[in-house]
Structure 1
Amino acid sequence: MTEITPIGIVRSPYKKHGDAPRQGRENEDNEMEIEIYEEYSAGIGDFSGISHIIILLWFDRADRKRLFDTPPGTNKKRGIFTIRSPNRPNPIGFDIGKIKSVEGNKIIVSGLDALDNTPVVDIKPYVPSIDCVPDATDLRDRSKKADLKN
């Protein structure tokens, strides 16, 4: 298997588990810095015309043995692949950050839920026409429907 090599690191105000919001978009006012390592900084290129990016993270402080976890708002354990817990066999995080500015090898963004010093695995542009699925559903949709029946 190929080894994953971080391309950078997140500089965040969130220092320990419990500091970060459950989802980064819940607190879009907090700005963070993605510092791209020197050997990958040429890949930053020009972000003009791109407002948001997908950031793939390695949640290095996650519990990699968990296959079940309890999502917020419920007391029912669910299979790890049906929820967004950072605790999973391969703790890859997926955030969408709003670009605030680019300064050398640093991308200033908002909308992340990463802890300070979280390794960045990759960055891709967010493309609304292909990344947004308007008719998709999730667990919250099912719980809203259940609430309406009760």
Structure 2
Amino acid sequence: MFEKRDGEIALADDPAAMPADGHVVFIGRIRSPWTSRADCPKNMAAARERGLMATVEIDEAFRPGLERLDGASHVIILSWFHHAPRNLIVQKPRHASEPKGVFALRSPARPNPVGLHVAKLLALDVAAGLLTLDAIDVLDGTPVIDIKPYFASIDAFPDATIARRESGE
């Protein structure tokens, strides 16, 4: 599914085969229109451009945790990229001229494939465990590991920057 590109470096040991340090449970699944990696938008901006909504289905045991989330305009979804390789520590994105360390990228391929998505919460049905989102940039069926309300007052940094060393990043 992921072909190795020139300049990429794999870890000697695949993190997926290492002993676990903690116990992560999936609390639900994302339902999106994306069923293949080729069709899936590369980020939330691209997902929003396509104008297709998504839903998050929360398992019954975790639905009480949704109480009072309806006051949030936006939510942070933490997902688990279950199809992504975990052993690449240096990657060569298609759009980049040089390889980069995984922690300098937003790629799903990483030692712990955790995704972070900020989405507009369009609707919430606590009893059914359904969150309707404006968009999402993950494959249908992607596991959810957490949901948090987005607070613009503490989560946004308008002056945040990242040095651009090449165009298209």
Q: Mapping of 1:89-104 within 5 angstroms? A: 89-103=111-125, 104=128
Q: Distance in 2 between matches of 1:17 and 1:95?
A: 17
Mapping for residues 70-89 of structure 1, pairs under 5 Å: 70-89=92-111
Note if 1:122 corresponds to 2:142: no
Q: What corresponds to 1:132 in structure 2?
A: 156
Q: Distance in 2 between matches of 1:127 and 1:77?
A: 34
Q: TM-score, normalised by structure 2?
A: 0.79
Aligned residue in 1 for 2:5: none
Q: TM-score, normalised by structure 1?
A: 0.88
Is 65-74 or 8-17 further displaced after alignment?
65-74
Number of aligned residue pairs = 143
**Matched position secondary structure for 1:39:** helix
Q: Does 1:61 align with 2:83?
A: yes
RMSD: 1.5
Decide whether aligned partners of structure 1 residues 129 and 143 sit closer, same or farther in structure 2, where only a CA change above 3 A counts. farther
- Looking at structure 2, the residues matched to 25 and 118 of structure 1 have their Cα atoms a distance apart, in angstroms, of 19
Is 1:6 matched with 2:26?
yes
**Letter of the structure 1 residue corresponding to residue 61 of structure 2:** E
Q: 1:111 to 1:25 in 2, by over 3 A?
A: farther
Amino acid at match of 2:102: I
Aligned residue type for 2:84: A
Asked if structure 2 preserves the Cα contact closer than 8 Å seen for 1:53 and 1:96, the reply is yes
Match of 1:109 in 2: 133
The 1:46–1:72 alpha-carbon spacing in structure 2 relative to 1, beyond 3 Å, is farther
Instruction: Report matched runs for 1:40-59 at 5 Å.
Output: 40-59=62-81
Classify the secondary structure of the residue corresponding to 1:120: strand
Runs of 4+ in 1 over 2 A off after TM superposition: 46-49, 70-73
